[in-house]
Amino acid sequence: MTRNTESAATRGAAEPPPRTPRVIIAFNGSPAGDDALRFGELLGRWTNAELVVACVFPPESLGGVPFDPRASRIAAGDHRIFVRQDAEAVLAEAAEALPNDLDVTFSAVECESPLGGLRQLALSAKADLLVLGSSHRGPVKQLFQRSMAGRALRHLPCALAVAPRDFRDARHMHERLRPQDRAKPLPARQAA
């Protein structure tokens, strides 16, 4: 019969301390971005995660294309981000929409592609999860074949969650979350 003579103190020393999960929420002010923000808020509450709300904008060399002011573009249903000022305005909207009791930072990311910017941020922030909004209805297979979420699945260093379309209107989900339903912190990552 073999006995484990390892003491409780020795076992505890070998285990890395739990760490707070990091969740990046892609937000551009669109309805799909609102869905991602609400879904990310729910996940943040549920897991006590550190949230990073991110908006990607193109470098000045690509942003030199003439465009209408943001307010008139939004009225026409165009939520594209052209300059840093657009990104900062969108992040201010997110800050107003989120409650003050969450651990949230906001990041305007300059990159040629939204997916590239989110990937860079996920790597640098050591994110555990990226939350995107869905602009599609229908089978999941169709969503992942032609969307940013589908491309993200092949290129992200973290897990991906896609907020269901119109999730922002699902208030009943927020009311059902109880403190005892929260997840435990994730274990620390091992150095690669």
Q: Identify the structural domains of the chain with CATH numbers, from first to last.
A: 19-168 (3.40.50.620)
Structure tokens at 87: 């990104």
Question: What is the rounded radius of gyration, in angstroms, for the C-alpha atoms of the chain?
Answer: 19
Assessment of whether the complete model's pTM goes beyond 0.95: no
Structure tokens at 97: 């929409």
191, pLDDT greater than 70: no
Q: How far apart are CA 116 and CA 98, in angstroms?
A: 25
Structure tokens at 71: 């307010």
Q: Which residue has the higher pLDDT, 54 or 17?
A: 54
Query: What's the mean pLDDT in 16-42?
Result: 89
Q: Tell me the pLDDT tens digit for each residue of 108-160.
A: 999 888 888 999 999 999 999 999 988 655 444 444 445 555 565 667 899 98
Mean of per-residue pLDDT scores for the chain: 76
Is residue 182 very low, low, confident or very high in pLDDT (cuts 50, 70, 90)? Answer: very low
Q: How far apart are CA 108 and CA 100, in angstroms?
A: 20
Query: What's the mean pLDDT in 59-63?
Result: 63
Nearest to 125 by CA among 111, 109, 101, 113: 109
- The pLDDT value recorded for residue 2 is 42
62, pLDDT greater than 70: no
Residue 190 has what DSSP assignment? Answer: P
Query: What's the mean pLDDT in 66-89?
Result: 77
Secondary-structure breakdown of the chain: helix, strand, coil percentages, each rounded to the nearest 5: 45, 20, 40
- State which amino acid sits at residue 138: G
- The pLDDT value recorded for residue 143 is 43
Q: Tell me the pLDDT tens digit for each residue of 119-132.
A: 999 999 999 999 99
